[in-house]
Amino acid sequence: MDRNLALELVRVTEAAALASSKFMGKGDKNGADGAAVEAMRRAFESVNISGEVVIGEGELDEAPMLYIGEKVGKSASDSIEVDIAVDPLDGTTLIAKGLPNVISVIAIGSKGSLLNAPDTYMKKIVVGPGAKGAIDLNKTAEENIIAVSKALGKKTNQMTIAVQDRERHNYIIDAARKLGTRIQMFGDGDVATAIATCFDETGIDMMMGIGGGPEGVITAAAIKCMGGDMQAQIYPLSEQEVNRCYELGFTDEELEKVLTIDDLAKGDNLFFAATGITEGDLLSGVKHIGGNRAKTQSVVMRAKTGTIRFVDAIHSLDKNDILVDLMKKYSIE
C-alpha cells in the first residue's frame, strides 16, 4: 500500500472528529455518533481504495453504523483492496458528557489481515514495546503485572496500569493494590487508553480488562504499528453475545483461544490513524478558535516502517463541504 495513504486516512478521521465535536457536552451521544459516521463515510469517497468494512460499529448498539460488509473508497480500477476497521467515535457516552479521551479511529490492512471479531466483549492485555513478549492471558492479573514490571525494570509499586471503571474488573484492581501498583481508571472507549501504553510520556505501563471486541482489533493494528504487544480472547458476557458469536461462525474452541497480536492484525501492511475529539492523554481535542476555524491533532502510523507521525491542522470549516452539509442537516453551528 502506498505510504501516502496515511495522510488520506488522517483526513477521514479529521472529518469525523470535526463533525462530532459540535456535540461535545450536549448529552446527545447518538447525534454525535451519527455526525461522525456520516462525515467519515463521505470522506472515504475521496480515498483511492476499494475497501470493505470488517470491523464497524457494533450491531448491538442503538446507533448509526458504518456496517460490516459496507464498501467504501473510490473503488476505481487502480484501487487497492483493503480491510477496514473503524470507530468514527470511540467514546459516545464520554462526548455526550464532555469528558476526555474521545477519538475517531481507522485501521486499514491488506485483504484478510484484520480479524472479523464479533460485536461482543473481549478480554485484553496491552503493553508497549518495552514489555513485548512478557504478557500471558492464561496467567493471573498479578502474574502479568509482575512479569511486565520485570520486563520494564520497574518495581510493581512504580508501575501504572489502566483499568476501565467497571465492577467486572475488581479482580484486576485487587491484584494491583496487593502489589502496590498505581491504577488509572477510565470510562468508556479503551482504544485511546490502550495506545497510550506505547508512549512513555503518558505514564501508563499496561492496560488490562474486558472491553469491546471490535475495538480490540483496531487497538491491535495500532499497537503492532508501534512495536507493542497485545493478547486477547473473545469473551461474551451474555447468552445473546454467545449466540451472536455462533451466528458469525465462531466455535467454542475459537472462543476459548488466546489470540496473539498477529491473530488480531496479520502482517505489516497496516496503517492506523486517529484524531482527538476531546482532550486526551495522547491527543489534543478539537479546538474551535473563532472565525469559523478549528484545530485538530492526529496521529498516523505505519507498521511496515514503524513510523509514527503527529499531524496538527487548522481547518476552515466554511470551506469544508462535508461539514457545511452536516451542520445544516443537524441544525448546529
Which tens digits make up the pLDDT trace of 56-78? 864 534 445 677 888 899 888 88
Rg (CA), the chain: 19
The answer to the question of whether 153 is labelled as a binding residue is no
The answer to the question of whether 87 is labelled as a binding residue is yes
Residue 2 pLDDT greater than 90, yes or no: no
Contact 41, 301 (CB under 8 A): no
Tell me the average pLDDT across 211-217. 91
C-alpha closest to that of 314 among 332, 288, 283 = 288
* 228's grid cell: 507493542
Residue 133 pLDDT greater than 50, yes or no: yes
HEC string of 97-114? Answer: HCCCCCEEEEEEEECCCE
DSSP 3-state helix, strand, coil percentages of the chain (rounded to 5)? 35, 30, 35
Q: Write out pLDDT tens, residues 254-289.
A: 999 999 999 999 999 999 999 999 999 889 999 999
Give the pLDDT of residue 63: 47
Tell me the average pLDDT across 7-12. 93
The answer to the question of whether 61 is labelled as a binding residue is no
The answer to the question of whether 14 is labelled as a binding residue is no
Domains and CATH numbers, the chain: 4-114+268-330 (3.30.540.10), 121-264 (3.40.190.90)
Quick one: pLDDT band at residue 104, thresholds 50, 70, 90? very high
The answer to the question of whether 229 is labelled as a binding residue is no
Contact 186, 214 (CB under 8 A): no
Buried residues in 94-116 as b, exposed as e (16+ CB within 10 A): bbbbebbbbbbbbbbbbeebbbb
Tell me the average pLDDT across 224-246. 93
* 109's grid cell: 490492512
The answer to the question of whether 188 is labelled as a binding residue is yes
Q: Write out pLDDT tens, residues 136-179.
A: 999 999 999 999 999 999 999 999 999 999 999 999 999 999 99
Contacts of 110 (CB under 8 A, 6+ apart): 1, 81, 82, 83, 267, 269
Give the pLDDT of residue 64: 57
The answer to the question of whether 91 is labelled as a binding residue is yes
Contacts of 269 (CB under 8 A, 6+ apart): 1, 109, 110, 113, 303, 304
The answer to the question of whether 167 is labelled as a binding residue is yes
Residue 192 host element (H or E): helix 191-196
The answer to the question of whether 119 is labelled as a binding residue is no
Contact 137, 125 (CB under 8 A): yes
Rounded CA separation 143/268 (Å): 30
Kindly report the average pLDDT of the chain as a whole number. 91
Residue 98 pLDDT greater than 90, yes or no: yes
Q: Is the dihedral of CA 189, 194, 199, 205 positive or negative?
A: positive
For the entire predicted model, the pTM comes to 0.90
The answer to the question of whether 212 is labelled as a binding residue is yes
Residue 204 pLDDT greater than 70, yes or no: yes
Residue 195 pLDDT greater than 60, yes or no: yes
The answer to the question of whether 57 is labelled as a binding residue is yes
